[in-house]
Amino acid sequence: MKNVIVGQSGGPTAVINASLYGVIREALKSEEVGHVYGMINGIEGFLQDKYMDLGEELSEGELELLKLTPAAYLGSCRYKLPEDLSAVFYQTIFEKLNDLNIGYFFYIGGNDSMDTVSKLSRCAQENGSDIRFIGIPKTIDNDLILTDHTPGYGSAAKYVASTVREIVLDASVYQQKAVTIVELMGRHAGWLTAASALARKFPGDNPMLIYLPESNFELADFAKDLEKALEKRNSVIVCVSEGISDASGTFICEYGDEAMVDNFGHKMLTGCGKVLENFVRRQLGIKVRSVELNVSQRCSGIGSSLTDIEEASRAGSEGVKVALAGETGVMVAFKRTGDDPYQMECAIEDVNKICNQEKPVPAEWIVNGNDVSEEFLTYARPLIQGEPVRPMKDGLPEYLHRR
Amino acid sequence: MKNVIVGQSGGPTAVINASLYGVIREALKSEEVGHVYGMINGIEGFLQDKYMDLGEELSEGELELLKLTPAAYLGSCRYKLPEDLSAVFYQTIFEKLNDLNIGYFFYIGGNDSMDTVSKLSRCAQENGSDIRFIGIPKTIDNDLILTDHTPGYGSAAKYVASTVREIVLDASVYQQKAVTIVELMGRHAGWLTAASALARKFPGDNPMLIYLPESNFELADFAKDLEKALEKRNSVIVCVSEGISDASGTFICEYGDEAMVDNFGHKMLTGCGKVLENFVRRQLGIKVRSVELNVSQRCSGIGSSLTDIEEASRAGSEGVKVALAGETGVMVAFKRTGDDPYQMECAIEDVNKICNQEKPVPAEWIVNGNDVSEEFLTYARPLIQGEPVRPMKDGLPEYLHRR
């Protein structure tokens, strides 16, 4: 009998805890599994011997609440493992795993987390360790390859679509011509910004203009698009990805402010909405405001998708199943087997092929550089369906927090 | 038999349409009322002969959907009526009202809208018109005097509390010391920012620091507060009103005017959240980000309060009742008659006493200039209770929009 350890890594999502729930539930069911440990703050915290016994410490009620709690219950980290698999780091980690009698290691995360799973599984192979390493996908960005979509995207997309629909109503109350720029998350991939198209209530409705980082963004074209849109409607809502850039590769947000770099070398982008707001005010002389939806896109539980929650949980339990069946160095993936009605099956893919890759919105789903196609809507719509029954207390959603 | 006309004015809220619903329902019930007209874009649109027949044009199903639709179905305006009651403006308005055989005029709005009701009712009195003018309160700012609270505040407060609770979870996932600054609406009154205290799940929980415009804000004190908070907790969430100012009366958001210039040399207009973010990064060297909750505070239907929706509707129907009973120049007000259990009754107040006044958060409810008291929480908690059953379509809330 071996023990399980599970960790969460990278940015929070509305459903990363549903995947944790799936891992715990499935692992506790198995007679081959003893304890189910959780790393506190991912691999970084585990290096500092921070972990908890999830099977022992969580009550039945807390476990159910965990499934509906956004963010990352175990805490997270952004920790890049050494490239050199003979580094002392790996020796330390494997000693700690062996001390806890770990047989199965699950890491819930995005690109960078799959890089962690890849390195650990390759290191195990080289050193004859039989610990199995499994990746459970998670990212609101929906940019992992070899999977139809990722857990976390559906809820973020639903939050974006419903919030943009409300902003459209809010922006339409006055008679005066006005532009509202909504800045959405997405450094390289426009999946989340594309989801704003779901907000439309009828053909031609706002958001009238949608710009993804997959297309070059030029201020002159933007001005022309905007003038054309303002001929049709007094209130124009524009949705832009934070990561839009021009043909020279310069980010629009860099037009206005400095860019910072996180410890993975990623640029921390904020502010293209503000840059465009300024541009419209000064160059076009139209009433304008910008709205940055910010972190609520990834952590809002109020408007999360039941489909996403259930799929995230299923990805977690599927990970345990394939680990018990002998797999290692793989990520759980989603295969769409039907669109009407929507059907999805789990599969596994080689994690080494996935890490450090990015899946953009296909060029054929982008229309005129300022909209998305019906094909995208058909793809995205099933992912935002259904609402969980959320426990409320004193008028607010009740969430599980680590004591 | 006379006709009713109703308009919406000022900024949208999640429940201003529930008040419109209340007016329509109550008016359609009465045998003394013929048509129920709605001004499109308030008094400004009515001057341009923009109105609709709400009783004729809205189906039963649409009327029920209206009750749960945020923003302002009829459109809104920000239009200040002339001070001189003999201005030709008033002659025009009264001619238009008489042409439509209006006997009852309802205006749903905040301070400025009550100014409109005040002027029109005084003008009617001076000119012997028997049209009755009634104000229905509405504002997320909760700053109208002579009423316990205003429709719109409960839903906005609930949105702020639940969103801040989620941001607190999101901000707590990493081990590193970090500050998150959440900027909330409220230029002069801190009611909405105070509601962020409802987000706490246990004593000492985040948001640890709350700053209202009612207290002077000094950067030096803020730095001290922050350092003290960071000794207790790695992740500190700070909630600030957009309108905080220092002892000299300078708004904190104005501190940034010179700092933020884009590459066109133009000033970037930013909120106090960005100014404080920059201050913390440069002066304290701590990881920091700022989040501006923006217009969703006033237009989010996802997390609205059922108590607020029902009270807003009741304010509308109460307005019709008192108009039919002969009142004019009054605003419907709320009187709290019990705290445990919460009980509320409608009353009327002289609109002339209300307009152009502002109700701040009482000084005794503000603690140390950086928190709010238990008395505030007892006051605010009943207003955020209950969730409406919201019709969903294709995974998103269905809202009524004017065709």
Residues in chain A with CB shorter than 8 Å from the CB of B401 are 169, 172, 201
Cβ–Cβ contact A259 with B under 8 A: no
Nearest chain B CA: its distance from A108 CA (Å): 14
Mean pLDDT value across residues B239-247 = 96
Is the per-residue pLDDT at A161 higher than 90? Answer: yes
Do residue A292 and residue B294 have CB atoms under 8 angstroms apart? yes
- Burial of B334 by CB count in 10 Å (0-12 exposed, 13-18 middle, 19+ buried)? buried
Do residue A394 and residue B385 have CB atoms under 8 angstroms apart? yes
At A30 the pLDDT is 97
Is the per-residue pLDDT at A263 higher than 50? Answer: no
At A319 the pLDDT is 98
Average pLDDT, chain A: 94
Cβ–Cβ contact B17 with A under 8 A: no
Q: Is B7 annotated as a binding-site member? A: no
Is the per-residue pLDDT at A265 higher than 60? Answer: no
Is the per-residue pLDDT at A205 higher than 60? Answer: yes
At A254 the pLDDT is 84
pLDDT in tens, B360-371: 999 999 999 999
Mean pLDDT value across residues A334-342 = 94
Cβ–Cβ contact A282 with B under 8 A: yes
- Suggest the residue from A65, A170, A385 to mutate for an interface test with chain B (most B CBs closer than 10 A): A170
First and final C-alpha spacing in chain A: 29
* More confident: A355 or B195: B195
Is the per-residue pLDDT at A53 higher than 60? Answer: yes
At B31 the pLDDT is 96
Cβ–Cβ contact A213 with B under 8 A: no
Is the per-residue pLDDT at B264 higher than 90? Answer: no
Do residue B201 and residue A401 have CB atoms under 8 angstroms apart? yes
Residues in chain A with CB shorter than 8 Å from the CB of B173 are 8, 12, 41, 71-72, 75-76
Cβ–Cβ contact B393 with A under 8 A: no
Do residue B41 and residue A295 have CB atoms under 8 angstroms apart? no
The nearest alpha carbon in chain B to A68 belongs to B166
At A127 the pLDDT is 95
Nearest Cα residue to B398 out of A165, A194, A293: A165
Residues in chain A with CB shorter than 8 Å from the CB of B296 are 163, 166-167, 291, 296
Annotated active-site positions of B, please? 141
Is the per-residue pLDDT at A269 higher than 80? Answer: no
What is the residue type of B380? A
Rounded to 5 degrees, what are φ and ψ at B74?
Answer: -80, -5
Q: Give residue B202's pLDDT band: very low, low, confident or very high (50, 70, 90).
A: very high
The sign of the CA dihedral B186, B192, B193, B194 is positive
Cβ–Cβ contact B162 with A under 8 A: yes
At A75 the pLDDT is 98
Choose the weakest-confidence range: A368-372, B51-55, B259-263, B357-361: B259-263
Do residues B180 and B237 lie in contact, with contact meaning Cβ atoms separated by under 8 Å? yes
Nearest chain B CA: its distance from A98 CA (Å): 25
Distance of CA A205 to CAs A164, A208, A211, A233, A344, Å?
A: 12, 6, 16, 9, 31
Angle in degrees, CA B276, B281, B285, rounded to 5: 140
Cβ–Cβ contact A396 with B under 8 A: yes
Nearest chain B CA: its distance from A295 CA (Å): 7
Nearest Cα residue to B183 out of B233, B244, B245: B244
Q: Is A262 annotated as a binding-site member? A: no
Is the per-residue pLDDT at A287 higher than 60? Answer: yes
Collapsing DSSP to helix, strand or coil, B103 comes out as strand
Mean pLDDT value across residues A111-139 = 97
Nearest Cα residue to A47 out of A101, A95, A118: A95
Q: Give residue A266's pLDDT band: very low, low, confident or very high (50, 70, 90).
A: very low
Do residue A162 and residue B397 have CB atoms under 8 angstroms apart? yes
Residues in chain B with CB shorter than 8 Å from the CB of A163 are 296, 300, 302
Distance of CA B123 to CAs A167, A328, B14, B171, B322, Å?
A: 37, 81, 32, 55, 20
Nearest chain B CA: its distance from A299 CA (Å): 6
Cβ–Cβ contact B392 with A under 8 A: yes
Of the partner residues B78, B170, B172, the one whose CB lies closest to the CB of residue A298: B170
At B261 the pLDDT is 52
Mean pLDDT value across residues A46-62 = 97
At B22 the pLDDT is 98
Spatial distance between the Cα atoms of B103 and B101, rounded to a whole number of angstroms: 6
Of the partner residues A162, A299, A302, the one whose CB lies closest to the CB of residue B396: A162
Is the per-residue pLDDT at B251 higher than 70? Answer: yes
Spatial distance between the Cα atoms of B388 and A162, rounded to a whole number of angstroms: 16
Residues in chain B with CB shorter than 8 Å from the CB of A174 are 41, 75-78
Question: pLDDT above 90 covers what percent of chain B?
Answer: 90
Residues in chain B with CB shorter than 8 Å from the CB of A45 are 175
Interface contacts (A, B; CB < 8 Å)? 184
Is the per-residue pLDDT at A46 higher than 80? Answer: yes
At A48 the pLDDT is 97
pTM of the predicted model, to two decimals?
Answer: 0.96
Mean pLDDT value across residues A1-24 = 97
Q: What angle, rounded to 10 degrees, do the helices at B16-29 and B306-324 form?
A: 40
At B244 the pLDDT is 96
Do residue A174 and residue B397 have CB atoms under 8 angstroms apart? no
Q: Is B114 annotated as a binding-site member? A: no
Residues in chain A with CB shorter than 8 Å from the CB of B385 are 394-395
Spatial distance between the Cα atoms of B5 and B120, rounded to a whole number of angstroms: 13
pLDDT in tens, A86-104: 999 999 999 999 999 999 9
Nearest chain B CA: its distance from A310 CA (Å): 15
At A239 the pLDDT is 98
Do residue B169 and residue A278 have CB atoms under 8 angstroms apart? no
Angle in degrees, CA B327, B333, B338, rounded to 5: 130
Do residue B395 and residue A386 have CB atoms under 8 angstroms apart? yes
Do residue A71 and residue B396 have CB atoms under 8 angstroms apart? no
Of the partner residues A198, A282, A296, the one whose CB lies closest to the CB of residue B166: A296
List A396's β-bridge partners, or say none: A393
- Suggest the residue from A166, A277, A309 to mutate for an interface test with chain B (most B CBs closer than 10 A): A166
- Suggest the residue from A65, A302, A384 to mutate for an interface test with chain B (most B CBs closer than 10 A): A302
Binding-face residues of B in 74-103 toward A, CB within 8 A: 75-78
Choose the weakest-confidence range: A92-101, A296-305, B82-91, B147-156: A296-305
At B292 the pLDDT is 94
Nearest chain A CA: its distance from B191 CA (Å): 17
Is the per-residue pLDDT at B256 higher than 70? Answer: no
Cβ–Cβ contact A392 with B under 8 A: yes
Annotated active-site positions of A, please? 141
Of the partner residues B162, B167, B392, the one whose CB lies closest to the CB of residue A387: B392
Choose the weakest-confidence range: A109-113, A244-248, A250-254, B328-332: A250-254
Is the per-residue pLDDT at B267 higher than 90? Answer: no
Cβ–Cβ contact A369 with B under 8 A: no
Cβ–Cβ contact A166 with B under 8 A: yes
Helix (H) or strand (E) holding A126: helix A111-126
pLDDT in tens, A353-394: 998 899 999 999 999 999 999 999 999 999 999 999 999 999
Spatial distance between the Cα atoms of A238 and A229, rounded to a whole number of angstroms: 10
Nearest chain B CA: its distance from A1 CA (Å): 31
Do residue B166 and residue A392 have CB atoms under 8 angstroms apart? no
At A222 the pLDDT is 98
Cβ–Cβ contact A387 with B under 8 A: yes
Q: Which residues contact A383 (CB under 8 A, 6 or more apart)?
A: A149, A153, A154, A157, A158, A305, A307, A308
Question: Length of chain A in residues, anyone?
Answer: 403
At B255 the pLDDT is 83
At A261 the pLDDT is 44
Do residue B394 and residue A381 have CB atoms under 8 angstroms apart? yes
Do residue A169 and residue B401 have CB atoms under 8 angstroms apart? yes
Q: Which residues contact B383 (CB under 8 A, 6 or more apart)?
A: B149, B153, B154, B157, B158, B305, B307, B308
Q: Give residue A270's pLDDT band: very low, low, confident or very high (50, 70, 90).
A: low
